[in-house]
Amino acid sequence: MKIHGKHYRTIWTRPDETVEVIDQMKLPHVFETAVLKNAEDCAVAIKTMLVRGAPLIGATAAYGVAFAMKKDPSSKALVEAIDMLGATRPTAVNLRWALRRMNSVLKGIGHEDRFAAAWAEAAKICDEDVGTCRMIGVNAMPIFREIAKKNGGKLNVLTHCNAGWLACVDWGTALAPMYMAHDEGIDIHVWVDETRPRNQGASLSAYELGAHGVKHTIIADNAGGHYMQHGMVDLVIVGTDRVTRNGDVANKIGTYLKALAAHDNGVPFYVALPSSTLDMSMAKGSDIPIEERSTDELLKMTGRLPGGGLATVEIAAPGSPGANPAFDVTPARLVTSFITERGVCAATEEGLKGLFPQLA
Ligand code: MRU
């Protein structure tokens, strides 16, 4: 997507066989990029959330494996790199999906060819992600059009966290249809949940939507239910970090409360799901490992000072402990439909198997 008039992906290669990414720790205040030169750089970027979002951490991990193969193409180094990169974040299954894919391509390849093959496979993962996200947008559009038509061409959408192009390689999952609806002339407005504690909604989704000219309003995480009760939300659409075989959905903490509020108010609740996020090997949502992050994310806040610099301040009662689960699980029964690159399906095992029989 475009930032400052220039088309960007979130991750791209450089002629010197390094990788450049957008530094998402500095957004929305400063647009800066960072260069990743080895597997350790990729692991740190994922862990610190310089890059984040399920598809993007998978893509970054794939390049991490490629860097490891450049340094040492042995099978021992391959296993070690996969272990190191896999330990960075536990919930988004895209990370494991990308590492498994790299492993299965590389194990059948001679050591001398491993780096070239890994570099090419990582690029393929990135290119495929762009196509997948675009198709999620295309497949969501009939739903967006139909609801907008009933509303005289207007559409109020609510989203949580950031499942936009910054979370992927381009387009995004949940935000792809918002861009397409806007470009098609639908009068779309997006309620953007701030998404405490890291504020990916207020800082990243709002930044993306604003750059594309999509009307949006940042709201406190607690406000969505109120707007739903007042008929001001036509649909909710979110991304996901892992969907289990029975259709349960892990996504950013707070998603479950939005799904409950949507259910109570008869507002459709859609989940944008690339197949790389589908974990058919896991039976149900309660089996998903939920990442616990530093309580600094909750007890402190970073923002821009009036003069321009960034500052981090404490916002909680000194000495009070905190707890910071980064994701929650929305039960399948609260999900209206999954919107995938292959089409729309029910949030059930049968629905998922119908679209993705090869993963069953
Ligand atoms: O902790 P983050 O910022 O990596 O969490 C991101 C989300 O929860 C997104 O909604 C999810 O990864 C889907 S991105 C297409």
Q: What is the mean pLDDT of residues 97-119?
A: 97
So what's the pLDDT on residue 308?
87
Distance CA 328, CA 262 (A): 16
For 225-280, the pLDDT digits (tens) are 999 999 999 999 999 999 999 999 999 999 999 999 999 999 999 999 999 999 99
Catalytic residues: 241
> Candidates 60, 135, 162, 236: which one to mutate for ligand 1, based on the most atoms within 8 Å of Cβ?
162
Q: Is the CB of 251 under 6 A from ligand 1?
A: yes
Q: pTM, whole model, 2 decimals?
A: 0.97
Q: What percent of the chain has pLDDT over 90?
A: 98
Q: Which residues participate in the annotated binding site for substrate?
A: 52-54, 89, 200, 251-252
Distance CA 244, CA 281 (A): 7
User: Going by CA atoms, what residue is nearest to atom 15 of ligand 1?
Assistant: 163
Q: In sequence order, which residues have a C-beta less than 8 Å from that of residue 20 and are 6 or more positions away?
A: 11, 12, 13, 14, 33, 34, 35, 36
∠ Cα 282 359 239 (to 5°): 65
Contact 165, 171 (CB under 8 A): yes
> Candidates 200, 291, 339: which one to mutate for ligand 1, based on the most atoms within 8 Å of Cβ?
200
So what's the pLDDT on residue 80?
98
Statement: residue 123 has pLDDT above 90 = yes
So what's the pLDDT on residue 360?
82
∠ Cα 77 82 83 (to 5°): 95
* Domains of the chain (ranges, CATH numbers): 2-128 (1.20.120.420), 138-359 (3.40.50.10470)
User: Going by CA atoms, what residue is nearest to atom 2 of ligand 1?
Assistant: 53
The number of the ligand 1 atom at minimal distance from the alpha carbon of 57 is 4
Q: Is the CB of 242 under 6 A from ligand 1?
A: no
Q: In sequence order, which residues have a C-beta less than 8 Å from that of residue 239 and are 6 or more positions away?
A: 53, 54, 161, 162, 163, 167, 172, 173, 174, 251, 271, 272
Mean pLDDT, the chain, as a whole number?
97
- 314 C-beta neighbours (distance < 10 Å), count: 10
Q: In sequence order, which residues have a C-beta less than 8 Å from that of residue 27 and are 6 or more positions away?
A: 166, 203, 204, 207
For 303-350, the pLDDT digits (tens) are 999 988 889 999 999 999 999 999 999 999 999 999 999 999 999 999
Q: In sequence order, which residues have a C-beta less than 8 Å from that of residue 17 and are 6 or more positions away?
A: 70, 119
The ipTM of this complex is: 0.98
Distance CA 265, CA 158 (A): 13
Q: Is the CB of 160 under 6 A from ligand 1?
A: no
For 177-234, the pLDDT digits (tens) are 999 999 999 999 999 999 999 999 999 999 999 999 999 999 999 999 999 999 999 9
Q: Is the CB of 177 under 6 A from ligand 1?
A: no
So what's the pLDDT on residue 256?
98
* Closest listed residue to residue 306, CA positions, set 29, 33, 3, 28: 29
How far is the CA of 263 from the CAs of 35, 147, 222, in angstroms?
44, 17, 16
